[in-house]
């Protein structure tokens, strides 16, 4: 079984949110901005959810976590997960220091379709020891939810394409800070995407220190260029040596159509694991078993 732990749900609400940062917002950003980017128009949330199901069926992907990729867009992935509950887990970007954040978090976590809170400290300008951030982990513990924390290099491709500034402070995305808060909430699955996105050593340390920290394997992992002589094969070998297959979550970072599901990421990672002679049962954990264990239907 293949389950993808990292897909972005670029809904109509996502494009409407982006348009607020443009000097001159179009009247219908959910149609105009995708056209400007050469992407397919998402349509309503139900239509986009159906398209994702068709896409995952085409590649034999059983389940996926869909991430609402701007603050406030959690209704889109909740609708997708409600429409296809056997296929989708809802995840949502959350800014804990925004006005009214605590009420919004309580409302979102009351929805059983929203299973993961996604934190982007570098994007939103806070550190994980801020009490408003640590409150997210406490709330996740009480509701049996997961927390995703983006660490390291943060580049939002759609913002670049639209010439929007991305003034992120990546110093705030330190996996060692994730370990500190994860240790205080051992029942919360804590996901660090992209192997720490450049903070690979720190991500391994965090996962070694806190048994509830998972590393997701998503994207092309272009951050490897900052580590001389490191290859994707080395990354997997070291991660397997450090934390084993039971805490690696396969992901692609798929997002827009017509590209759809990013088959090349899957092919590259499968080839690496085969080259490392990783047993079939361990590969099964990485490509779907661990996802199912965290996100029971």
pLDDT, tens only, 167-209: 899 999 999 999 999 999 999 999 999 999 999 999 999 999 9
What's the rounded mean pLDDT across residues 113-124?
A: 97
User: For the whole prediction, is pTM greater than 0.85?
Assistant: yes
Q: Is residue 76 a contact partner of residue 14, using CB atoms and an 8 Å limit?
A: yes
Q: Which CATH superfamily is domain 2-294 in?
A: Metal-dependent hydrolases (3.20.20.140)
Q: Are 9 and 260 in contact (CB under 8 A)?
A: no
Query: How many CB atoms are located within 10 Å of the residue 165 CB?
Result: 8
What is the reported pLDDT for 48?
98
Tens-digit pLDDT profile for residues 53-79: 999 999 999 999 999 999 999 999 999
H/E stretch holding 217: none
| Domain residue ranges in the chain | 2-294
E-state strands within 102-229: 114-119, 146-149, 190-192, 213-216
Name residue 186's beta-bridge partners. none
Residue 185 phi/psi, 5° resolution?
-135, 70
pLDDT at 157 over 90: no
| 74-112 tens-digit pLDDT | 999 999 999 999 999 999 999 999 999 999 999 999 999
Average pLDDT of the residues in 23-33: 91
């Amino acid at each position: 079984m293949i389950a993808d732990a990292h897909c972005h749900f670029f809904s109509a609400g996502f494009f409407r949110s982006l348009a607020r940062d443009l000097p001159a917002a179009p009247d219908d950003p959910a149609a105009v901005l995708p056209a400007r980017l050469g992407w397919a128009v998402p349509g309503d949330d139900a239509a986009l959810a159906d398209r994702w199901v068709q896409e995952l069926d085409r590649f034999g992907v059983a389940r996926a976590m869909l991430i609402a990729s701007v603050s406030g867009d959690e209704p889109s992935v909740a609708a997708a997960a409600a429409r296809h509950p056997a296929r989708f887990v809802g995840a949502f970007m959350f800014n804990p220091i925004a006005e009214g954040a605590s009420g919004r978090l309580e409302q979102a976590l009351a929805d059983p379709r929203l299973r993961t809170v996604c934190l982007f400290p570098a994007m939103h300008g806070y550190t994980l020891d801020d009490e408003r951030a640590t409150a997210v982990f406490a709330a996740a513990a009480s509701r049996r939810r997961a927390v995703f924390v983006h660490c390291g290099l943060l580049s939002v491709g759609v913002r670049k394409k639209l010439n929007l500034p991305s003034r992120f402070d990546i110093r705030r995305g330190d996996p060692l800070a994730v370990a500190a808060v994860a240790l205080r909430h051992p029942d919360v699955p804590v996901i660090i995407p992209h192997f720490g996105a450049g903070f690979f050593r720190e991500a391994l340390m965090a996962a070694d220190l806190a048994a509830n920290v998972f590393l997701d394997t998503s994207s092309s992992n272009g951050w490897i260029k900052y580590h001389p002589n490191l290859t994707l094969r080395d990354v997997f070998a070291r991660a397997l040596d450090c934390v084993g297959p039971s805490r690696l979550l396969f992901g692609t970072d798929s997002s827009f159509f017509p590209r759809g599901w990013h088959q090349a990421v899957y092919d590259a990672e499968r080839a690496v694991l085969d080259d490392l002679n990783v047993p079939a049962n361990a590969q099964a954990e990485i490509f779907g078993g661990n996802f199912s264990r965290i996100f029971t239907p």
